[in-house]
Amino acid sequence: MNKKIKNILKITLPLILGVFLVWYSLSDVPLPKILEFWKSSNKSWILLGLFLGFLSHLSRAYRWRFQLEPLGYNIKFGNSIMAVFATYLINYTIPRAGEVARASILANYEGVPFEKGFGTIVAERIADLIVMLGIIIMTLFLQFDFIYGFLIEKFDVTKIVIALVFGIVLMVFFLRYIRKSDSKIALKIRVFVAGLIEGALSIFKMKKKWAFIFHTLFIWVMYLLMFYVTSLAIDDLNGISTGAILIGFISASFSIAATSGGIGAYPVAVYLGFSIFGITKEPSIAFGWIMWASQTLMIIIFGGLSLICLPIYNRKKKNEHIL
């Protein structure tokens, strides 16, 4: 496929999917109904959720400095914070463009070579992926009986066993193929997996590795708490189970990668997670929109201010370079 067409599709497909999911979510639960949930919601819980989300972003910005110090760069915390918020904002326009912009901001205002800055961003994404996998495994362990019962109830046991056996056999053949094949796809997968392993191991080579690990865990604890406390704002979701929160959170987290910033996908993903526990569509979709809209508004405000303030904050440094 032509590279130009591929780049266009990378931008347009998530946007088209997002528009479709916005239409889908609002077709069953119309905007006036969502606004009713918003009006009756407890705004204190929403504000607390915003505060927890803000703390996670500050922690991410602070954690980044631990990765750059071994490379010989002691960046300003202000630049790190603004680069993080700018990243989130830019990702709402072009998926994954924020990471490139973040490394560029660092190169422009802190003199960190682009490839080094981008490398640290990739490494931190690996750390986040490991934690996300840990949350998924923990959820499967804690909710095994419920998930098993749900699958037994909804699907034929024989078909589930056949599907599992088939999946395991397919995975074994796939891994053997990836390990021995010289095709471009196999090589890319091997390089990607090797990068994951190298990135994960590099964390333990840092001088401040325990501080990095603490902040990584703190970020994800804040994400989970942010999701939970915001659900308390909706009366219909009071008393929601831990399992529903965990599965709803996991589902919603994956939705952010599906469309630009999770637009349209986030409330639908929340509903899909909650529906397993018999939670009705209206409060699930409404919560998804309130959760997504409140966090997005924070990103728009602080991301926009960051893009405006970055050149002002670094003006003195720029003038020193000119002189």
Full DSSP string of 120-170: HHHHHHHHHHHHHHHHHHHHHHHTHHHHHHHHHHHS-HHHHHHHHHHHHHH
- The predicted pLDDT at position 39 comes to 93
User: ∠ CA(84), CA(85), CA(87), 5° rounding?
Assistant: 65
> Could you tell me which residues come within 8 angstroms of residue 113 by beta carbon, excluding any fewer than 6 positions away?
107
Nearest in space to 28 (alpha carbons), one of 242, 275, 201: 275
In this predicted model, what pLDDT tens digit does every residue of 308-318 receive, in sequence order?
A: 999 888 886 65
Q: Which DSSP category does 198 fall into?
A: H
Summary mean pLDDT of the chain: 83
CB atoms within 10 A of CB 234: 23
Which has more pLDDT, 264 or 2? 264
Overall size of the chain counted in residues: 323
Of all residues in the chain, the percent with pLDDT exceeding 70 is 84
Q: Over 70: is that where the pLDDT of 55 sits?
A: yes
Q: Provide the pLDDT confidence category of residue 259 given band limits of 50, 70 and 90.
A: confident
Confidence of residue 92 (pLDDT cuts 50, 70, 90): confident
Q: In degrees, to the nearest 5, what angle opens at C-alpha 296 toward C-alphas 295 and 297? A: 90
Question: Residue 304's Cα: distance from chain center in Å?
Answer: 20
Contacts of 38 (CB under 8 A, 6+ apart): 286, 290
Q: Is 81 in contact with 61 (CB distance < 8 Å)?
A: yes
Q: What is the pLDDT of residues 122-160, one digit of tens each?
A: 888 888 988 999 999 998 888 877 776 766 766 666 766
Lowest mean pLDDT segment, chosen from 49-63, 80-94, 169-183, 220-234: 169-183
Query: Could you give the count of Cα atoms lying within 13 Å of 84 in the half-sphere of its Cβ?
Result: 23
The share of the chain scoring above pLDDT 90, in percent, equals 33
Give, in order, the Cα–Cα distances in Å from 80 to each of 27, 62, 76, 86, 295.
41, 7, 6, 10, 20
In this predicted structure, what is the pLDDT of residue 323? 40
Q: Copy the structure tokens of residue 249.
A: 């959170």
- The structure tokens listed for 216 are 């990584």
The tens digit of pLDDT for each residue in 7-47 reads 555 556 666 766 767 776 777 788 888 899 999 999 999 99
